[in-house]
Amino acid sequence: MSTSSRAAIIRAQAESRGAVLSGRHIRTPSSLRVFASLVSLGFVATLMMAAPNPVSTVSASGLPVSQSFERAEVQSLVVAEGFVNEISRDKIAIKEIVVEPVLPAAPEAPVAPAAGTPDPGTAKAIAQSMLAARGMGTDQYNCLVSLWNRESGWNVYAQNSSSGAYGIPQALPGSKMGSAGADWATNPATQIAWGLSYIEGRYGTPCDAWAYSEANGWY
């Protein structure tokens, strides 16, 4: 049998088995499946090497946001009969962490200087006794002394030439103190009683009134 006849018989047998003939190379369906699988695996490996980086952005509220990424699924490759049917990429889960702004600390309330022990029978001694009857201690007494030092210097007859405010607590008008006693113009106890009631109703405590006076220059 000649060489050409033998080659023709081999070719016919190969084609009957489903082989694809090209020149001198014979590519069978099984070799095509292996080749496709290798190409797909190389593509998947390339994708898996690309890792996402954390980014920083700004949330809808305007606050800075730090975003971190984590893998939620493993990358998978499904090969059926030598052909790639499905490639599932990693799903990326994004976590947003809102960075809360650091608020400045609230300013501390001013502390009045120590007033010391008042002399017996003075207006300051009367005020200290009235504060103690209200359950208030030395700290509130110190604030009251500083407050009325600024207003009148604890002078029963002190009068503001511009506004007409009168007495130790500088009541405006001075006649308001008549609700505490008819001798409001001359009696320090009457003026102090009225002044403490005014502070309690408007500010709560002498130290609250002192803090307001420190911030605004009046109370």
Instruction: Give residue-wise pLDDT tens across range 58-85.
Output: 555 555 555 544 454 545 544 444 444 4
- Is 48 or 153 the better-scoring residue by pLDDT? 153
Q: Is the pLDDT of residue 106 over 60?
A: no
Number of residues that make up the chain:
219
Residue-wise DSSP of 43-58: HHHHHHH-PPPPEEEE
Q: Round to whole Å and give the CA distance between 153 and 122.
A: 13
**Average pLDDT over every residue of 151-178:** 97
Give ∠ CA 155-167-174 in degrees, rounded to 5. Answer: 165
Q: 112: Cβ–Cβ under 8 A, 6 or more apart, which residues?
A: 139, 142, 143, 145, 146, 147, 207, 210
Determine the number of helices (DSSP H) and then strands (DSSP E) in the chain. Answer: 6, 7
Helix (H, G, I), strand (E, B) or coil at 22: strand
Average pLDDT, the chain: 76
CB 197 within 8 A of CB 127: no
Domain spans, the chain? 3-98, 123-216
Q: Round to whole Å and give the CA distance between 35 and 71.
A: 29
**Least confident interval from 105-114, 127-136, 169-178:** 105-114
Tens of pLDDT, residues 21-67: 444 545 555 555 655 666 566 655 665 565 455 545 555 555 555 55
- Of the pLDDT bands very low, low, confident and very high (cuts 50, 70, 90), residue 18 is low
Please name every residue paired with 75 in a beta bridge, in sequence order, or none if there are none.
Answer: none
- Is 70 or 197 the better-scoring residue by pLDDT? 197
- Of the pLDDT bands very low, low, confident and very high (cuts 50, 70, 90), residue 11 is low
- Of the pLDDT bands very low, low, confident and very high (cuts 50, 70, 90), residue 111 is confident
- Of the pLDDT bands very low, low, confident and very high (cuts 50, 70, 90), residue 125 is very high
The H-or-E segment that residue 64 falls in is: strand 64-71
Q: Which of 47, 61, 57, 50 is nearest to 95 (CA)?
A: 57
Q: Check residue 83 and give its pLDDT.
A: 45
- Of the pLDDT bands very low, low, confident and very high (cuts 50, 70, 90), residue 9 is low
Task: Give the percent of the chain with pLDDT over 90.
Answer: 49
The answer, as to whether pTM is greater than 0.85, is no
